[in-house]
Amino acid sequence: MRRTIRYAAVILGILGLTVAGVAAWVLLNGLPTYPVEPNATRVDVTPARVSRGRDLVTMMCASCHLDSATRTLSGKRMVDAPPEFGVIYAPNITRHAERGIGRWSDGDVLRLLRTGIRPDGRYVPPYMPKLPRAADEDLAAIVAYLRSDDPLVAPTETAPPTSTPGFLTKALARLVWSPLPYPEALLTAPDDSAPLARGRYLANDLLDCYGCHSADFKTVDVLHPERSAGFYQGGNRLRDADGQDVVSANLTPDAQTGIGDWSEDAFVRALTRGQRPDGTTTRYPMLPYAALSDADARAIHAYLRTLAPVTAPRPAVTTVPPLATSTGQQVYRDRGCASCHGDRGNGVYDIRHALAKYTSDESLAAFIRNPGAAVPRITMPVFDGVVADSDMSALVTYLRSLRVAAPPGGTRPAPQE
């Protein structure tokens, strides 16, 4: 008996030392690097590709890389990243030669988008979505746009600090995650003549909808989306601009907990304008896909209707914000503005300095009601019919107070934790 106990103690001791050794190895070595496979692909920059690329970058990249202070894709702190991933900064992807990607080749950009490997071999964890199944033409459009003279990608010297990945990110990157394979054959996207196939392509292969709307980022299967735990059943815990938990929605055609009773028009309105059938607006990190065509939105709806309906109620999230100091602040919170802009306007999208362009209360109210009329493709819900006229004046007054409260000289403090 004593011998058995001694053997068990030795085995447990060895296991403990092994675990401690692996943990120390992960901490000391950080994220892995990999050999860089040459990629001589060159992308022809055409007006059609730049236009398509701008739409794709607006929908897929801007929410993380757009800095409200520089008004370019110069990068910023990802305050909505799950805390266990560490302190994450989206990098500068403007055409700046040193701070951005101005010296990257077209093949370098494509390799990163496909596999997650930077030109220096460093691995980028899955908090940046990878696109191993996206059509070559769509990726060429993204590259063409990043090479264009559009103001969003103008060379910007400002760059955020280097990310500090957490232990979990380092461990998963060393033990579970790995670079994705680069396609060996040309990939094409289904067109409008095959709406179901196009909807599946858009939702799974390009826009990465399943990533948020499955059970957990850590169990997403990028190469085989349908194998992801809780595929489109929601429940994934994300964070808004103030660090509050947000649980993703069930997008299966379940009538009680999913979108089973949503009409096609209602789905298109929610996806492209941010207005849900119940009269509320979508809230960050779910932003309207204003650059998405109605035909593509309908294709996504058609694909989601083919999924098996699953009853999966969204878990309740309890948040207790500080008491509102004004009616306008309460409207601002109730209508979901704080989920994107933060309670004081300096959240994921810092709006305090942008308010200066709307010199009258009437012009600011008009922008809130229909932001796309002033800024095409803007990723902001349409509040026409959502904010009552009686509340709009109070909301505008509160927004004006945010601008007055901004620091002098245009300096933007760090985003709220």
Tell me: do 139 and 234 sit in the same domain.
no
Tell me: do 204 and 128 sit in the same domain.
no
Q: Which residues contact 125 (CB under 8 A, 6 or more apart)?
A: 31, 85, 116, 165, 169, 172, 173, 177
Q: Which domain holds residue 113?
A: 47-175
CATH of the domain at 378: 2.60.40.420
Tell me: do 169 and 199 sit in the same domain.
no
Tell me: do 95 and 165 sit in the same domain.
yes
Tell me: do 213 and 148 sit in the same domain.
no
Q: CA-CA distance, 101 to 98, in Å (whole number)?
A: 7
Query: What per-residue confidence (pLDDT) applies to 355?
Result: 79
Residue 114 contacts residue 183 (beta carbons within 8 Å): yes
Give the amino acid at 71: R
In a domain, 71, yes or no: yes
In a domain, 31, yes or no: no
In a domain, 318, yes or no: no
Query: What per-residue confidence (pLDDT) applies to 3?
Result: 52
CATH of the domain at 269: 1.10.760
304, 338, 369: which is the final residue of a domain?
Answer: 304
In a domain, 135, yes or no: yes
The pLDDT tens digits of the residues spanning 45-91 come to: 999 999 999 999 999 999 899 998 899 999 999 887 778 889 999 99
Query: What per-residue confidence (pLDDT) applies to 414?
Result: 36
| Residue in the block written with tokens 């826009």 | 207
Query: What per-residue confidence (pLDDT) applies to 127?
Result: 82
Tell me: do 158 and 211 sit in the same domain.
no
Return the structure tokens found at 295.
């035909």
Torsion region of 350: left, alpha or beta (phi above 0 gives left; psi -120 to 50 gives alpha): beta
Number of compact structural domains in the chain: 3
CA distances from 141 to 44, 110, 148, 170, 409 (A): 9, 11, 10, 32, 37
In a domain, 41, yes or no: no
Query: What per-residue confidence (pLDDT) applies to 411?
Result: 39
175, 210, 239: which is the final residue of a domain?
Answer: 175
In a domain, 32, yes or no: no
Tell me: do 215 and 295 sit in the same domain.
yes
The pLDDT tens digits of the residues spanning 328-380 come to: 999 998 888 888 888 888 877 888 877 788 889 999 999 999 998 888 888 88
Q: CA-CA distance, 213 to 248, in Å (whole number)?
A: 5
Tell me: do 102 and 168 sit in the same domain.
yes
Tell me: do 223 and 298 sit in the same domain.
yes
In a domain, 129, yes or no: yes
Residue 148 contacts residue 43 (beta carbons within 8 Å): no
**Total Cβ atoms within 10 A of residue 334:** 14
CA triple 282-406-373, angle to 5 deg: 40
Tell me: do 298 and 395 sit in the same domain.
no
Give the amino acid at 220: V
Indicate whether this model's pTM tops 0.95: no
Tell me: do 334 and 366 sit in the same domain.
yes
Tell me: do 158 and 206 sit in the same domain.
no
In a domain, 15, yes or no: no
Which segments in the chain show pLDDT lower than 50? 7-10, 12-13, 15-23, 25, 405-417
